């Protein structure tokens, strides 16, 4: 009987780890140590669209960790696109406010990529795009929202925790819930079953 491959999450993201753990996946975590800002800047300079930037960042993380670790390594990344422009995580609450004001009443797209690598090479990939519409919330609501969420807003490209108070920002969402949280979980689980890293 062959041993099931080990699984490593090449991320320090607490929510991605929680999604895998809750789904019954046995895994370890490892920091990829990828210079995301430099890689992203290079890709933007080449005119690479936000969807493909998410895919490239996920691949870079998975491949780097899988060169050092056996088994299957999951890399993941998300990018946010508003009117064709890539938005990064805000550096301050003032910048988060500016982002949310720009997004208010508008539709943005969240690209959630996962790449699985083995022996230093990608063996599977998936990018899920979710279309999200922010409602025309009041300035008063925005003030209360920022005061309540605080620095947690700085950990998300969209300035929201969709699983928490951030859900109140939206009027409509088209796409996969898990991808909004940062991982196209169902597709990842399908591949892990194919590779017998999960029981079918």
Residues 132 and 185 sit within 8 Å (Cβ to Cβ): no
CA dist 134 and 175 (Å) reads 14
- The residues facing 116 across adjacent strands are 74, 124
Parallel, antiparallel or unpaired: strands 7-9 and 28-29:
parallel
- Residue 91, Cβ density class (10 Å: 0-12 exposed, 13-18 middle, ≥19 buried): exposed
CA dist 27 and 20 (Å) reads 8
Q: What b/e string do you get for 126-164 counting C-beta neighbours within 10 Å, with b at 16 or more?
A: bbbbbebebeebeeeebeebbeebeeebeebbbbbbbee
Residues 75 and 32 sit within 8 Å (Cβ to Cβ): yes
Q: Does 77 qualify as catalytic in the annotation?
A: yes
User: Of 77, 94, 151, 176, which residue is the catalytic one?
Assistant: 77
CA dist 105 and 197 (Å) reads 43
Residues annotated as part of the active site: 77
């Amino acid at each position: 009987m062959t041993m099931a491959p080990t699984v490593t999450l090449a991320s320090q993201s607490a929510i991605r780890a929680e999604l895998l753990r809750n789904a019954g996946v046995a895994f370890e975590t490892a920091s990829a140590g990828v210079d995301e800002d430099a890689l992203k800047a290079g890709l933007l300079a080449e005119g690479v669209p936000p969807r493909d930037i998410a895919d490239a960042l996920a691949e870079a993380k998975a491949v780097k960790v899988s060169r050092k670790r056996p088994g299957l390594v999951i890399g993941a990344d998300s990018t946010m696109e508003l009117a064709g422009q890539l938005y990064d995580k805000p550096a301050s609450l003032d910048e988060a406010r500016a982002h949310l004001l720009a997004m208010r009443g508008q539709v943005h797209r969240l690209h959630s990529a996962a790449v699985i690598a083995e022996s230093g090479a990608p063996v599977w990939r998936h990018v899920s795009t979710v279309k999200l519409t922010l409602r025309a919330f009041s300035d008063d609501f925005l003030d209360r929202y920022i005061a309540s969420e605080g620095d947690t807003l700085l950990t998300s490209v969209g300035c929201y925790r969709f699983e928490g108070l951030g859900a109140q920002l939206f009027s409509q969402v088209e796409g996969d819930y898990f991808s909004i949280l940062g991982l196209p979980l169902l597709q990842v689980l399908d591949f892990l079953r194919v590779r017998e890293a999960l029981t079918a």
